[in-house]
C-alpha cells in the first residue's frame, strides 16, 4: 500500500493506518467498493464510527471514492482501495527519511497479525517465514520482485467479503534490506 506523494499526505496516511480498525477496512476495500453501512455491518461498528474511519483513510489518500448510491432517500458514498493506483507508486512507498514512521507502521501491522491469528483456522495449514538472512543483492531483488508479483495477483483476486465460494485469508508480507550493522 502506497503512502501518498507529499510529506503531509504521507504523515496523514501513516496516522490513518495507526488504528487497527482502519487496517481492517483497507483489507475489506481491496476486494470491493463498500459504503460506511457495509463496513459497519461487516466489522460490527456503528455507522458513525465506520464513517469516521473512512474519512481518515480518505484524507490520508489511502482510499478513493467509488461512486454513490441512493439508499432510503439518502445518498451513500462507496469507497475502495485502489491497489492499481498504488502500484504506480510502489517504489516511493518506503523512503529512508521516514524510518521512524515505517517502524510505527510495521508495529501496527504486527498487532493486526496478532488479532488475525486469533481467528485462524489452523486445520487447513499455514505458512510463515521469519528470518534475518545474508543473501546476494541480485538474488534478494529477484525474490522480492516475485513476491511483489504474487502479492499483486492476490490483491487482484480479492472479492467482496463473504462472496460465495471464497475463503477469508490473512496475508502479511514484509521484506526489506537491512543495514550492515
- pTM as predicted: 0.74
> Is residue 29 a contact partner of residue 73, using CB atoms and an 8 Å limit?
no
Residues 159, 175: Cα–Cα separation, whole Å: 25
Alpha carbon separation from 156 to 5, 24, 44, 48, 74 (Å, rounded):
23, 17, 26, 30, 31
What pLDDT, on a 0 to 100 scale, did the predictor assign at position 169? Answer: 92
At 140-152, the pLDDT tens digits run 999 999 999 999 8
User: Which residues in the chain show pLDDT less than 50?
Assistant: 1-2, 91, 93-97
In a 3-state reduction of DSSP, which class is residue 34?
Answer: strand
What pLDDT, on a 0 to 100 scale, did the predictor assign at position 161? Answer: 92
At 86-109, the pLDDT tens digits run 766 554 544 444 677 777 778 888
Amino acid at each position: 500500500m502506497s503512502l501518498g506523494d507529499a510529506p503531509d499526505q504521507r504523515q496523514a496516511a501513516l496516522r490513518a493506518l495507526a488504528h487497527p480498525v482502519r487496517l481492517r477496512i483497507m483489507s475489506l476495500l481491496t476486494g470491493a467498493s463498500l459504503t460506511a453501512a457495509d463496513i459497519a455491518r461487516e466489522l460490527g461498528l456503528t455507522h458513525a464510527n465506520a464513517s469516521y474511519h473512512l474519512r481518515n483513510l480518505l484524507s490520508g489518500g489511502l482510499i478513493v471514492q467509488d461512486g454513490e448510491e441512493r439508499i432510503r432517500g439518502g445518498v451513500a458514498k462507496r469507497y475502495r482501495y485502489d491497489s492499481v493506483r498504488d502500484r504506480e507508486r510502489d517504489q516511493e512507498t518506503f523512503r529512508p527519511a521516514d524510518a521512524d514512521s515505517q517502524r510505527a507502521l510495521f508495529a501496527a501491522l504486527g498487532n493486526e497479525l496478532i488479532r488475525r491469528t486469533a481467528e485462524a483456522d489452523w486445520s487447513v495449514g499455514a505458512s510463515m517465514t521469519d528470518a534475518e538472512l545474508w543473501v546476494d543483492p541480485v538474488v534478494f531483488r529477484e525474490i522480492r520482485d516475485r513476491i511483489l508479483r504474487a502479492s499483486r495477483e492476490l490483491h487482484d483476486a480479492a472479492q467482496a467479503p463473504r462472496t460465495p465460494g471464497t475463503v477469508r485469508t490473512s496475508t502479511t508480507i514484509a521484506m526489506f534490506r537491512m543495514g550492515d550493522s
